[in-house]
Amino acid sequence: MEFRKAAYSDINCIMEIIMQAQAYLSAQGINQWQNNYPNIDVIKKDIDDKDSYVLLKDEKIVGTAAVSFKGEKNYQLIYSGKWIGNNEYAVIHRIAIDSYNKGLGLSSGIIKSIEEMCLSKAVYSIRVDTHKENLSMQRMLQKNSFQYCGIIHLADKSERIAFEKIIGTVLK
pLDDT(15) > 50: yes
63 lies in some domain: yes
Question: What total number of domains does the chain contain?
Answer: 1
172 lies in some domain: no
135 lies in some domain: yes
* Gap between the Cα atoms of 80 and 103, Å rounded: 32
The model's pTM: 0.94
CATH number, position 30: 3.40.630.30
Determine the pLDDT at residue 36: 87
Structure confidence by residue, pLDDT tens digits, 130-163? 999 999 999 999 999 999 999 999 988 999 999 9
pLDDT(172) > 50: no
Structure confidence by residue, pLDDT tens digits, 52-102? 999 999 999 999 999 999 999 999 999 999 999 899 999 999 999 999 999
Determine the pLDDT at residue 169: 61
Q: Give the pLDDT band (50/70/90) at residue 168.
A: confident
For 110, the domain range is 2-166
171 lies in some domain: no
Q: How large is the average pLDDT for residues 38-49?
A: 97
130 lies in some domain: yes
What φ, ψ does residue 59 adopt, rounded to 5°? 65, 15
